[in-house]
Amino acid sequence: MLILGIETSCDETAAAVVARDADGRGRILSNVVHSQLEDHARFGGVVPEIAARAHVEALDGIVARALAEAGIGFADLDGVAATAGPGLIGGVLVGLMSAKGIALVHGLPLVAVNHLEGHALTARLTDGVEFPYLLLLVSGGHTQFVAVEGLGRYRRLGTTIDDALGEAFDKTAKLLGLAYPGGPAVERAARAGDANRFALPRPLLGRDSLDFSLSGLKTAVRQAAQAAAPLTDRDVADVAAAFQATVAEIVAIKARRALAVFTKQTGVTAPVLVVAGGVAANQAIGTALRAAAAAVGARLVVPPAGLCTDNGAMIAWAGAERLAAGLVDGLDAPARARWPLDADAVPKLGSGQ
């Protein structure tokens, strides 16, 4: 089956065509991402109103390109999927309404996809990972461990009690005068830095906690930056390196704990740990997680960086999985600013596959 996927929940206008074969394997036929970076850069963050307008202007052209690059037309599609939340509501509305129009005009089933489910299922598209697996979702708005037990069956094991990890990267970048978006800029700066010059706190919230707290770390980064001001390139590199090494260590420790909990709960002794969301593109965190997984006999799967950050292929794939399971949405499907992955709002299936 061929699915068109549309993603407009934040600052990427994206569309993709993904094929799902009868055996459940996926193939990306096209994946077009138009970043609005330049529209938001001078504000140091995403401006919702500007984002929504930019989606309106770009989306039709992006969808046309996704179909053209896949070498197909609307008539060849078996369904259309769009992010229905969570995200900036103006942008979500633009993508979802566009998908509804396409569904109506071309007589196609509509799938209203939870953006987080898109991130969560990407590893099944890229690596054919089978249920159940442990997901570490680390993005601009979310930081959580989720037991992925089947399609629509997500159980949250831990989450952040304050900032998301991507948000912490973005705020650290801002403090250091680095370009937006912060994650890639901090990673680049950290390469030349000495991670040991500044000692930062490692809030672990007790021996067994799978929750994260990153706001204290943010304060410590600000104090280190203020103490070293005016910042030389060396200072920036050292603070960036200390921050990145600290979060990598925290994430690795929590991942080991989460894998132990997952194994205890599911009985799976050599589990797969999947990392998803924009921060999964970070190589230092990837290296720390690989070691943590190996230490307990688990396998780490990290999709390619371009499929970790927001894209249309992940939405098309989640749509394909749902459609194959007979889960279709009506043209009255609502756009949601908030939509937890483990909420009942995600229809549950009976089987684990």
State the residues that interact with Mg ion by CB under 5 A. Answer: 10, 310
If the CB atoms of residues 40 and 257 are measured against Mg ion, the closer one turns out to be 40
Residue 7 near Fe ion by CB under 5 A:
no
Stretch that binds ligand ATP, among 253-261, 275-283, 286-294, 341-349 (CB under 6 A): 275-283
Residue 180: Cβ within 10 Å count: 18
Per DSSP bridges, beta strands 12-20 and 2-7 are antiparallel
Consult the annotation and say whether 140 binds a ligand. Answer: yes
Selected from 34, 40, 115, 322, the binder of ligand ATP by CB under 6 A is 115
Comparison of 93 and 239: residue with beta carbon closer to Mg ion:
93
Residue 282 is labelled as binding a ligand? yes
Binding segment for Fe ion (CB under 5 A), chosen from 96-104, 165-173, 309-317, 339-347, is 309-317
Contact flag: residue 140 with ligand ATP (CB under 6 A): yes
- Ligand-binding site membership of 194 (annotated): no
Q: Is 115 annotated as a binding residue?
A: yes
Query: Whole-number minimum distance, CB 183 to Mg ion, in Å?
Result: 10
Interface with ligand ATP (CB under 6 A): 10, 87, 115, 119, 139-142, 166-167, 169-170, 181-184, 187, 277-279, 281-282, 309-310
Residues tagged in the binding site annotation? 115, 119, 137-141, 170, 183, 187, 282, 310
Interface with Fe ion (CB under 5 A): 139, 310
Residues tagged in the binding site annotation for substrate? 137-141, 170, 183, 187, 282
